Amino acid sequence: MLPLVPLVFLACPGFGSQTLGGGSSEVPADPTYVEHAGPILDDYCAPCHGETPSGGAPDYFRLDAYENDGSRDGAVEMADRIVARATGDSPTMPPAYATQPSDIDREILAAWVADGAPYGADTGGTQ
């Protein structure tokens, strides 16, 4: 049975990217918060890092908001920590017991931050 596993994955178009979040099958050239990173953060991070932190999550930031809401940092201020915890070879967020984003979703988050974590296509910058 084990040798069949890779074949099953190959035979399944979009494997790993058809769940929540952006649901993209590739990393867009110019990812934005509105179109790409935001939906991923909303689905996979905001359940704990939302308006009301839950699951033991720290309360100094929220990942369901783009920027600081007046008292807590948002995704753009946390961009480097998002990359550190949710992208790369050994991501530690979301915690192993929570629903995991696809590899593509993680790459989109990394590309978004590398691009300066823009809000929308029009703004170009971080604000």
Q: Which residues bind ligand HEC (CB under 6 A)?
A: 44-45, 47-49, 55-58, 63, 78, 81-82, 85-86, 93-95, 98, 101
Residue at token pair 């170009």: 124
Question: Closer to ligand HEC at the Cβ: 8 or 98?
Answer: 98
Least Å distance, CB 54 to ligand HEC, is 7
Q: Cα–Cα–Cα angle for 106, 88, 38, nearest 5°? A: 25
Min separation Cβ 68 and ligand HEC, Å? 15
- CA separation for the pair 94, 102 (Å, rounded): 11
- Smaller CB distance to ligand HEC: residue 7 or 97? 97
Q: Which is nearer to ligand HEC, 62 or 119 (CB)?
A: 62
Q: What is the DSSP letter of 4?
A: G
Supply 86's token pair: 């949710």
DSSP 3-state of 70: coil
